[in-house]
Amino acid sequence: MKIIILGAGQVGGTLAENLVGENNDITIVDTNGERLRVLQDKFDLRVVQGHGSHPPRPA
């Protein structure tokens, strides 16, 4: 299943950890690049640095 998690804090990180273990395709969106790097190094998932509520518009 493809899942997007908005927020890479304690709740988002724990949720990602549980869902990655179930062979899901996870993408996490957060403004904090350091949190995203830590999660990406630890788990097999995609990260997007930015605001989940205000995504960039395609050019």
Angle at 32 between CA 7 and CA 25, to 5 degrees: 45
pLDDT at 5 over 80: yes
Q: Which amino acid is at 41?
A: D
CA-only gyration radius of the chain, Å: 11
**Domain boundaries along the sequence of the chain:** 2-49
pLDDT at 38 over 90: yes
**pLDDT value of position 53:** 87
Q: What percent of the chain has pLDDT over 90?
A: 83
52 vs 12, which has greater pLDDT?
12
**pLDDT value of position 58:** 64
